[in-house]
Amino acid sequence: MKIPLCKTNINTKESRAIEKVLKSGWLTDGPMNAKFEEAFAKYIGVKRALTLNSCTAALQLAMEASGITGEIILPSFTFVASANAAVKAGATPVFADIEYDTCNIDPIDIARKITPRTQAIMVVHYAGQACSMGKITKLAALHKLKIIEDSAETIGGTYKKQKTGSFSIGCFSFFPTKNITTGEGGMLTTNDRALADKIKTLAGHGITKNTYDRQYGQDPWFREASYAGYNFRMSGILAAIGIEQLKKLDAMNARRREHAAYLNKKLKFDEIDLPVELKECRHVYQMYTIKVKKVARRDFVLGLRKKGIMASVHFTPPVHLQQYYARKYKRLIHNLPVTERVANSIATLPMYPGLTKKELDYMINSVGKVLRSLKRRTV
């Protein structure tokens, strides 16, 4: 049996939506983008949402438009894009440790890392579960810090019934591994209309009006840049896919939660720690991650892959141990023991809405067999 790490839920509705855009002749940033933005903003519970070509672009623009050029505290246990966006925006990354159970940034260590140079906190909601936003928002208010939410992995997840991406500036990814996909693509959410307007302008070469809006003006060829911007826009084709995906999001997240509950019930092995869902959170399991103990994590993952289960690791090495960051920001990197412990033990099992009971049972049985074989090897 072959079980991929993830599988998209795309059908004829997405195909028809693409065809509609192709027939319209308007393939770039236009009516479909506006429709997707409106629906996404309503879903998250914010005033504005902006389609972009990636979550990385959203993170970079959020910091650049907010004027963050000093230190920004973020976890090292994240995909490197989180830190890359900070660097490209002109900020200095300062890495905080994480909590073992949730793999989310530790508010206690955030407090330790705050200096007079700190301007912002970037939270990364890991694998589908929100960070401890109550403690973090209080810290930010106390020290007058901005908050950027990297919610790439937690679309639809909540903290005390409030969706991630609505606490401050939210940044989302629609990569194929995420809870909904447009292939490539991202979204930025905010309640600050002036900030949203600035970000939209920066994303479109620094020109205030996009091509679709200009065509109805008196001089549609007139293009004046108010900023040195970028081309970070999402195409109308991808936005059309996103509209259809968003309609299915809650149902797909419910299936992920059902699968995770079944795995949590059946994966009772001393050699692994299971994911933890905090009582104030609603975990949407973009990934189902476990921590491997007493046996070699590499051998465990490779053993599953030999059985057709495409397990993986998210994330190793942590950002602070990657060559560029270890060299350039060495003086700012210290005391991340939990991050390094988790990075050396974490393993990701397949998780997507379309998993069948037969596949889940095969995965559970295979985990047991691999663990038993590795235990015999170490005796």
Count other C-beta atoms under 10 Å from residue 225's C-beta. Answer: 12
The SS3 call for residue 187 is strand
Under a CB-based contact definition with an 8 Å cutoff, are residues 318 and 343 in contact? yes
CA distance 257 to 121: 29
Q: Is 268 a catalytic residue?
A: no
CA distance 329 to 346: 25
Cα separation values, 182 from 12, 53, 75, 291, 314, Å:
14, 10, 27, 30, 22
CA distance 234 to 184: 9
The SS3 call for residue 150 is strand
**Catalytic hit among 146, 163, 178, 248:** 178
Instruction: Say how many CA atoms lie within 13 Å of 36 toward its Cβ.
Output: 30
Active-site positions read: 178
